[in-house]
Amino acid sequence: MSNSNQTFNLGSVEKIPLGQGRCYLVGTEEIAVFRQRDGRLFATQSRCPHKQGPLAEGIVGGGKVICPLHAHKFDLQSGTGSETGECVKVFAVCELRGELLLSL
């Protein structure tokens, strides 16, 4: 088993409006990528662990995303949930020359 990360180019950062998220299929993983109003980028698993809500459609702000189904909040940096203690996986994402780069 390898511990090496793979980096994927997801395209232009402009595909994600400020304050919103978008879902990407990367290999076999569905990933939600968020672009806060201050421009910071975050990436998590795409589904809420509570009821499988689509996190990319949630409200983004203050370093958190709120699940659109049951309003569970998750910290975008750590993945820690504030309601049930459930967590989401987080992934490294950055912008390079206007392109989104995600590491899995």
The CATH number of whichever domain residue 66 belongs to comes to: 2.102.10.10
According to the model, what pLDDT value does residue 3 have?
A: 54
Do the domain assignments include residue 4?
Answer: no
Residues 17-55 have pLDDT tens digits of 999 999 999 989 999 999 999 999 999 999 999 889 999
Is residue 2's pLDDT more than 50?
A: no
Rounded CA Rg of the chain: 13
User: Distance between CA 34 and CA 1 in Å, rounded?
Assistant: 30
Please tell me the total count of domains within the chain.
Answer: 1
According to the model, what pLDDT value does residue 50 have?
A: 86
Give the domain extent around 39: 17-103
Do the domain assignments include residue 1?
Answer: no
User: Distance between CA 97 and CA 30 in Å, rounded?
Assistant: 24
Do the domain assignments include residue 26?
Answer: yes
Residues 51-96 have pLDDT tens digits of 899 999 999 999 999 999 999 999 999 999 986 789 999 999 999 9
Do the domain assignments include residue 8?
Answer: no
> What sign has the CA pseudo-torsion 18, 77, 97, 27?
negative
User: Distance between CA 10 and CA 64 in Å, rounded?
Assistant: 22
**Taking the model in full, what pTM does it have?**
0.92
> Residue 51's closest CA among 63, 68, 64?
68
Do the domain assignments include residue 2?
Answer: no
